[in-house]
């Protein structure tokens, strides 16, 4: 299993990446390009899983080299992986264009609604359960900067792992 952090530019992907993975970050150059991206590992229920900080994108129709790399990285993802779509909770409407794109392509998406601390500062609350119902995927509110919601995010990632294992087993018995 690998975990891909995907989202618009400047939504807090790298901050969340550091929260999830800690220290040992590897910077890789995507072959044939000038684009660098980060990978590291996190501990999920005793298993070391790879986490990829994917370059920021607005849609799956790339308009720059970095976006092109992001799309190519995602193309390597399978059902066993988790695509954590990091969205800026203070800019939800704009961010959800990419979410729809990812869902339409059938990626194993989870939503991490970031910047919850800023929303709290504005006295705003996002209906996370409502979003779960609309999109049919797990939705977790986080503040990557403050470290809030990270444990819940980890456990939801671990849950979706067991769900997909179950799916595999069900598939075998058919
Ligand atoms: N208030 C607040 N600021 C945050 C939070 N997460 C990230 N930031 C800030 O948002 C800015 C962008 O964060 P990054 O982690 O660099 O965002 P990114 O998505 O990796 O950006 P790109 O790599 O450029 O696409 C930084 O100034 C962060 O400190 C959060 O939960 N709350
Ligand atoms: Mg970044």
Comparing 41-45, 53-57, 142-146, 162-166, which segment has the lowest mean pLDDT?
A: 162-166
What is the mean predicted confidence (pLDDT) over 121-136? 95
What is the mean predicted confidence (pLDDT) over 23-52? 92
Closest residue by Cα to atom 7, ligand 1, is: 12
| C-alpha 103 to ligand 1 mean position (Å) | 23
Q: What is the pLDDT of residues 104-125, one digit of tens each?
A: 999 999 999 999 999 999 999 9
- Residue where the block lists tokens 């993802």: 77
What ligand is nearest to the CA atom of residue 13? 1
Query: Residues 149, 142: contact at Cβ < 8 Å?
Result: yes
Which pLDDT score is estimated for 89? Answer: 97
| CATH 3.40.50.300 describes domain 2-173 | yes
Which pLDDT score is estimated for 162? Answer: 58
Closest to 76 in 3D by CA, of 26, 37, 44: 37
Could you identify the atom of ligand 1 that is nearest to the CA of residue 144?
31
What ligand is nearest to the CA atom of residue 115? 1
Closest to 95 in 3D by CA, of 83, 85, 103: 85
pLDDT at 174 over 50: no
Closest residue by Cα to atom 6, ligand 1, is: 12
| C-alpha 170 to ligand 2 mean position (Å) | 38
How many CA atoms lie less than 13 Å away from 171 in the CB half-sphere? Answer: 7
| C-alpha 7 to ligand 2 mean position (Å) | 10
- For ligand 1, residues with CB inside 6 Å are 7, 9-15, 56, 114-115, 117-118, 143-145
Which pLDDT score is estimated for 143? Answer: 98
């Amino acid at each position: 299993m690998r975990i891909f952090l995907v989202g618009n530019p400047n939504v807090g992907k790298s901050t969340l990446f550091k929260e999830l993975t800690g220290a040992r970050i590897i910077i890789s150059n995507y072959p044939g390009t000038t684009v660098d991206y980060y990978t590291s590992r996190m501990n999920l229920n005793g298993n070391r899983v790879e986490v990829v900080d994917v370059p920021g994108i607005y849609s799956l129709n790339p308009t720059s080299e970095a976006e092109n790399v992001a799309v190519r990285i995602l193309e390597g993802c399978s059902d066993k992986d988790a695509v954590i779509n990091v969205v800026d909770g203070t800019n939800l409407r704009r961010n959800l264009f990419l979410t729809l794109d990812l869902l339409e392509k059938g990626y194993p998406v989870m939503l991490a609604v970031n910047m919850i601390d800023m929303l709290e500062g504005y006295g705003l609350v996002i209906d996370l359960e409502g979003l779960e119902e609309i999109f049919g995927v797990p939705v977790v509110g986080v503040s990557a900067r403050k470290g809030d919601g990270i444990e819940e995010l980890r456990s939801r990632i671990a849950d979706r792992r067991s769900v997909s294992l179950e799916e595999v087993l069900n598939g075998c018995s058919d």
